[in-house]
Amino acid sequence: MSHQNHPELAEAFNKDFERTTWHDETLWFVRQKRDKAVYPIPEFQDLRTLASEIKDHTLSNLDNYLIEFEQNAIKNGVKVHWAADAVEHNQIVMEIIKNSCKVEGRNPRLVKSKSMLTEECHLNDFLEKNNIDVVDTDLGERIVQFRNEPPSHIVLPAIHLKKEDVGETFYEHLGTAKGEKDPQILTEAARQHLRGKFVAADVALTGVNFAIAETGSFVVCTNEGNADLGVNLAKVHIACMGIEKIIPDLHHLSVYTRLLARSATGQPVTTYTSHFTKPVEGKEMHIVIVDNGRTQQLGREDFRSSLKCIRCGACMNTCPVYRRSGGHSYDFTVPGPIGAILSPNIDLHKHKSLPFASTLCGSCSDVCPVKIDIHVQLYKWRQIVGQANELPAAKKWAMKGMAKVLSMPKVYDLSGKLARGALRILPHGLTHNESMNPWAKARELPDAPKQSFKEWYEENRQ
């Protein structure tokens, strides 16, 4: 499939007016829940500042904290692995699975709780190709896994789907009644289905929300308890984390647990906040620490603070563009505003339209619990896209022409006069021709006045 850019995918999304309304309102509801959870906390803005500063400090000492974390984790009896990129990450995970479960006559079975990192590395595809059965156990993740779709949101992976869509998917994969759309019945079906998978699993994989250098332990936050069920039943626990998940000390953790769930879903705290320190006797615990482009981003002064992200998804819920274009329109593991500043680091050419998929309204920066200046970084990525000659030729030359006109007052005055004159003379059907003037698809142009302000001023005041 040839690559489509954001405007094309967003336009396709908007073809269904009612569904766009529903998507927008659903996510706005989550944003409002967040507001209700945030406003009553008088120190919330101070918490954001603190969280931002702790992350700034950690990122500027990341090498030391990573080593401290590794040493402490090893002391705890955890096996620590380092992966430079997605390929290494996937290989490491596969080898852990193959080495730890010598099963005969069937594939090794892996249950996974939510991990955006493994999505980023396309781990599921890789493992399945290598004869390992993979089951995502987060409800939303399981739904999109059945449908062979990527998640459309980092916290709410199936938020693009209505209950009717889920009913259809479960009818196909879980044998629920055709047309069943009752959320309780559908959830119960998924619950029974997943119980079997948990019990039968050889290995459980989780993400990591926070890794604590001081203790070598890590924290996994879920609402469904699926991470805990998985790792407590399976013999082997693999936790995959990006290098930016580190925080220095245990007492820093509370700053983030207070911010994460409030920003994500408006809950005071996630239902489960599980600390993992050492393997149970007779079991194995592995941590895979992954770079995959993060050190490159760390080296970009203007963009390094994007690594402060704690993956709450608040910038998606607040973004008026995300709400009206859907997560899949970004065509990147992490969609929305934060994805639009992470993705150009990975592949500028492929994701060049994403920094422009924003009005630079700044809502993302104001909602961000770790105060990433997302809209400022969007603006800066735009300049890099421009300098890399990745803008459409017509736009590039139009911009150059406009810049010339606007630096020469007489040329500007004359161009304005001619343009207004033309707009006044030409028929409406021509000036509002949709194929030539995208503005006119849904909007009227302003009336072109006879006089500019400058002409009025000249006539009346000079």
Partner 1 sequence: MLNTVGVFIRVKLPKLIFRPLELKNMKVALFIPCYVDQFYPNVGVATLQLLEKLGVEVTFPMKQTCCGQPMANGGCEQDSKGVYEHFVDIFADFDYIVTPSGSCTYHIKKHYDIIEQTPAVQKIRKSVYELIDFIENVLKIEEIPVDFPHKVGLHLSCHGQRGLRQANASEITGVRDGQISKLLRKLKGIELTELDRNDECCGFGGMFCVTEEAVSARMGQDRISDHLRNGTKVLTGGDVSCLMHLEGIVKRQNAPIKVMHIAEILNGNQP
Grouping H, G, I as helix, E, B as strand and the rest as coil, residue 316 is helix
Would you say 3 or 450 has its CB closer to partner 1? Answer: 450
Residue 390 class from Cβ within 10 Å (0-12 exposed, 13-18 middle, 19+ buried)?
A: middle
Binding positions for partner 1, 418-437, rule CB under 8 A: 419-420
Would you say 131 or 439 has its CB closer to partner 1? Answer: 439
Cα-Cα-Cα-Cα dihedral sign, residues 426, 428, 429, 433: positive
What x-and-dash track marks residues 377-406 binding partner 1 by CB under 8 A? Answer: --x--xx-xxx---x---xx--xx-xxx-x
Q: Which residue has the tokens 């009346």?
A: 460
Bridge partners (DSSP) of residue 222 are 272
Binding positions for partner 1, 29-68, rule CB under 8 A: 35, 39, 45
Would you say 125 or 444 has its CB closer to partner 1? Answer: 444
Would you say 202 or 373 has its CB closer to partner 1? Answer: 373
The CA R_g of the chain, rounded to the nearest whole Å, is: 26
What x-and-dash track marks residues 356-375 binding partner 1 by CB under 8 A? Answer: xxxxxxxx-xxx--------
When asked if residue 14 is in the footprint of partner 1 (CB under 8 A), the reply is: yes
When asked if residue 3 is in the footprint of partner 1 (CB under 8 A), the reply is: no
Rounded Cα–Cα distance for residues 436 and 421 (Å): 18
Contact with partner 1 (CB under 8 A): which of 4, 19, 26, 28?
28
Would you say 35 or 85 has its CB closer to partner 1? Answer: 35
User: Of 138, 160, 139, whose CA–CA distance to 149 is shortest?
Assistant: 160
When asked if residue 19 is in the footprint of partner 1 (CB under 8 A), the reply is: no
Checking 277-284 for CB contacts under 8 A at 24+ apart, the result is 277/76, 277/215, 277/216, 277/217, 278/76, 278/77, 278/78, 279/77, 279/78, 279/237, 282/235, 283/235, 283/236, 283/237, 284/79, 284/96, 284/100, 284/235, 284/236, 284/237
In the chain, what is the greatest distance between 2 CA atoms, to the nearest angstrom?
A: 94
The CB-of-140 to partner 1 minimum distance in angstroms stands at 24
When asked if residue 305 is in the footprint of partner 1 (CB under 8 A), the reply is: no
Rounded Cα–Cα distance for residues 97 and 234 (Å): 12
The CB-of-252 to partner 1 minimum distance in angstroms stands at 23
The CB-of-402 to partner 1 minimum distance in angstroms stands at 6
Instruction: Give DSSP secondary structure letters for 342-389.
Output: HHHHH-TTTTTTGGGSS----HHHHH-TT---HHHHHHHHHHHHHHTT
Would you say 99 or 451 has its CB closer to partner 1? Answer: 451
Contact with partner 1 (CB under 8 A): which of 265, 318, 333, 343?
318
The CB-of-453 to partner 1 minimum distance in angstroms stands at 3
When asked if residue 75 is in the footprint of partner 1 (CB under 8 A), the reply is: no
Contact with partner 1 (CB under 8 A): which of 320, 346, 348, 350?
320
Binding positions for partner 1, 338-357, rule CB under 8 A: 355-357
The CB-of-416 to partner 1 minimum distance in angstroms stands at 4
Site size with partner 1, rule: CB under 8 A: 75
